[in-house]
Amino acid sequence: MTVDGSPLDAKDFKQAMRQCAGAVALVTVGAEHGKRTGLTVTSACSLSDKPPSLIVCVNRNASAHARIREEGAFAINFLHEDHAMLALTFSGQKGVNGDDRFAFGQWTRGITGAPVLTDAVAAFDCVLAQEFETTTHSIFVGEVRSVSHGAESTPLIYLRSSFHTPREMRGTVTVGDLDSRHLSWSDFS
């Protein structure tokens, strides 16, 4: 609802969300060949380190949704800059569905049985710990059972309906950096 009580236009909401960068990940599920599936998301993030856990929002119409419930496990594979076509494939934009999506990329089986992308920026093999439902999506809480990561990979992000990398960042500013309080965005251009 808007301030005056009228419903917020979905188009305006989507346009505003396009301005928010998100890390691109594949959520994968299925211990058996022929029964694997997955989807591309920007809705995965850390929840806690006690216990190590992540959340991901999955549309109930996605093929992976029911499979996550059935398997009780899934992997979240964060992509690097060379994975843009893989992201499009798992988004359904290339006309490839279900298990056929795994013909692209290098995959291994995680300890939960979920498919794990071997060269992901970071991959989290999770068991389904909790689920919360909204009107169109479920929020899955995954308790992490194993993790892999590659420190040299450049992450893939999605912003303004396109894939990008965070190379535009010239220097690292850390939370504890006293000088970071004095920097402005113009210092980065």
DSSP 62-104: SHHHHHHHHHSEEEEEE-BGGGHHHHHHHTTTTS--GGGGGGS
Each residue's pLDDT tens digit, 116-153: 999 999 999 999 999 999 999 999 999 999 999 987 88
Residue 3 counted as domain residue: no
Residue 167 counted as domain residue: yes
Residue 1 counted as domain residue: no
Residue 86 counted as domain residue: yes
* Residue 7: how many other CB atoms lie within 10 Å: 7
Residue 185 counted as domain residue: no
Which CATH number does the domain housing residue 68 bear? 2.30.110.10
How many domains would you assign to the chain? 1
Residue 142 counted as domain residue: yes
pTM of the entire predicted model = 0.86
The residue length of the chain stands at 189
Which residue range(s) make up the domain with 39?
A: 22-180
What six digits make up the tokens of 145?
């059972």
Each residue's pLDDT tens digit, 5-62: 788 899 998 899 889 989 999 999 999 999 999 999 999 999 999 999 999 999 999 9
Please state the separation of Cα 86 from the chain's center in Å: 13
Residue 101 counted as domain residue: yes
